[in-house]
Structure 1
Amino acid sequence: MSAPDSTAHFHALLQFRRRKAARPAAAAETTGLGRIIQAEEYLSQAQCTVLKSTECSNATHSLLHRNLGLLYIAKKNYEEARYHLANDIYFASCAFGTEDIRTSGGYFHLANIFYDLNKLDLADTLYTKVSEIWHKYLDNHYQVLSKDRIQQIDLLGRHFVNDTGLDEAQEAEAIRILTSVLNIRESTSARAPQKTIFVLKTLVMLYHLMNSSKAKEYATRALNLAREQLDVQEQTGIEELLSLISTEEDLPVT
């Protein structure tokens, strides 16, 4: 059996405690300073474990630094938060690549810091990067599913159920990140409507792959915004997407 402070044990424990430690700001709103102190004590112990270990993976380092970054955001210590999120991005990039959805969380939280500090150009750049990472992942995943569906569809016209390729926690993170970016985009949509449409279309893909009726809702919102902007090309693309969603919903599922 592995030692209690082994890398595998630590990583599993950190994942298990992620909901408590990863969102200290939300916890602070409901239970006050005590919850932040509790998270800080736990993360301090976790950090000591990582520093003592010579076997911790880049993914584990990334997870620890992300949690520490979120803790310091809750404490409004943005300098420390930026330091840890920069390390999160570095280690996640080493583990998964700079354009991976598992790296995007670090960009997102760093963007939130810049947004709160009113450094809007920096925040905008990072929000755009996050949106593009998720759009690329979802689009690529959908293309793979579509190819498989075309190859495997039977004579009865039945089709295979969509899926995101994500686990439950990743789906929840995708929804939280993309809806947060959308809220920010919509607050400034008069200046950059195309960026709002882009996030809406990304949410359409996400919810469509989750087999959720919200896909149509977001597609309709994107279409209305495209019409307001008199963007015929964008309108056509979204109308085709809506038609595709409706067609797939009408097919019997295997």
Structure 2
Amino acid sequence: MRTKLLVGYFGLDGLNLQLSRILYHFFTVVAGGPESSFSFSTAITLEAMEKVVSVCNGSSTFWREPRLAVRFLLELFRGCPEHQLSDRESIHDHICEKLALLRQPAKFLSSEELRQEWKKKMRDLNLQIIDIAATRGRQLLFQGLHEKAIPAALLAIRFSLQIHGRTSTALVPAYLCLGEACIGLRKLDKAEEYLSQANWIAITDPNCPSSIMYNLHRNLGLLYAAKGDDADALRHFAHDIYHASEEFGTNSLKTSGGYYHMANVFFRQSKMDMAMSIYRQVTKIWYRYLSEISACKIKQASQPETITISAAKDEPTQGLLNEWDEAEATQVLCTIYDIWESSPKKCSKDLAETSHALSMLYFILGQYHKAREYGNKAYMTCENPKYAEEITEFLNNIKI
């Protein structure tokens, strides 16, 4: 009877009985039922009901177990409407089915072997959710969507705590994601809180790998740089470079990020000689890497025929750079190019090398119009005849 009244009240008489059961259980909890332990700021409105219907229709598992849908919807409807939308777009839409499987009631299993198998399955499912959330958080950060990265990082921490415990270094990447998101939002106190937690976990583990330590120090350096504390920023960037060099080598792309951020601090301090020297090192690292990839792409495309370029439409990226490398290369090289371009003492070699690197980058990304633009700039600014021939050969090989 109460279910019929609820459905009738919202004008949803056409809904089937199973959806009515889900809605009844859910709004009983929202209204303060025995399962409710959250406070909700969202009023029970027709708009809220439509969200419930949308989520339930997206998961066949929810139809089989109404109370399972309730648990998921409790998480979805926590907080204000803006946060709910952010959560859905950030992570919930990506883990809906896996979360539903994870929230299934425990089955009765007759043997120890079956119980252990079920536990392993649940653990693997938890690890998959952690991986999805961490990856999603990083993707959103690279897109500049700092606000949306926070729910994904928080979910990764929540599940990591359940699986690994509070002192595991597996928590550090998620805390770093949170810290970086807060720095991007200029919530520096919050960022310091998360990064301090990550730092405490790292320093209490003598076996914490350099692959984690370099990223930790990079984020701490960015935090202190944002606060204007250049001395601490430079100290952390030095540690970043040390750990990255130990793990990946001094000429690695991973290491170049520490160089780049250190150069930015020197540039802000007007220590131009030091900044320019480090910018040159960063450019050389990217130039060498992009040269190898572009040469490989030219060679592959020239068999059996040379690359042909459509002026009307750019080609998509062909997987030679991952999305993180693409975003970092574009940001770093464009920034350095702008610095050389606006410098009162322009160095033709520096400007030509950076322009050539950008030309190769956009060629790899399939953005041929930009590749041609920066290739021509490299040729026009180059004063070394031998290097000019190299640029000309590159432009001729790719037919732009």
- State the partner residue of 2:11: none
Q: In structure 2, what residue type is equivalent to 1:4?
A: G
- State the partner residue of 2:172: 10
Residues 65-76 of structure 1 mapped to structure 2, 5 A cutoff: 65-76=217-228
Change (3 A) 1:244 1:162: farther
- State the partner residue of 2:329: 174
> Is the 2:210–2:247 contact (alpha carbons within 8 Å) kept by the matching residues of 1?
yes
Equivalenced residues, count = 231
**Local SS of the residue matching 2:185:** helix
Partner deviation per Cα, 1:106-152 (whole Å, 9 max, x = no partner): 001111111111111111110010000001111122334444555xx
Are 2:342 and 1:208 aligned?
A: no
Change (3 A) 1:239 1:146: closer
Q: Gaps spanning 5+ residues in structure 1: where?
A: 29-34, 248-254
Match of 1:27 among 169, 176, 185: 185
Q: In structure 1, what residue type is equivalent to 2:185?
A: A
User: Is the deviation greater in 216-225 or in 68-77?
Assistant: 216-225
Q: In structure 2, what residue type is equivalent to 1:39?
A: A
Max Rg structure? 2
Deviation at 1:182, TM superposition (A): 0.7
Residues 1-254 of structure 1 mapped to structure 2, 5 A cutoff: 1=123, 2-5=163-166, 6-11=168-173, 13-14=174-175, 16-17=177-178, 19-20=180-181, 24=183, 26-28=184-186, 35-149=187-301, 153-154=303-304, 163=318, 165-188=320-343, 190-213=345-368, 214-226=370-382, 229=383, 231-246=384-399
- State the partner residue of 1:251: none
* TM-score normalised by L of structure 2: 0.53
Q: Gaps spanning 5+ residues in structure 2: where?
A: 1-122, 124-162, 309-315
**Local SS of the residue matching 1:98:** coil
Deviation at 1:10, TM superposition (A): 2.6
Q: Distance in 2 between matches of 1:72 and 1:189?
A: 29
* TM-score normalised by L of structure 1: 0.81
Q: Distance in 2 between matches of 1:106 and 1:46?
A: 19
Q: Distance in 1 between matches of 2:344 and 2:380?
A: 13
Deviation at 1:19, TM superposition (A): 4.7
Q: In structure 1, what residue type is equivalent to 2:355?
A: L
Q: Distance in 2 between matches of 1:218 and 1:17?
A: 36
Q: In structure 2, what residue type is equivalent to 1:93?
A: S
> Percent of aligned pairs with the same residue?
33
Q: Distance in 2 between matches of 1:53 and 1:242?
A: 51
- State the partner residue of 2:139: none
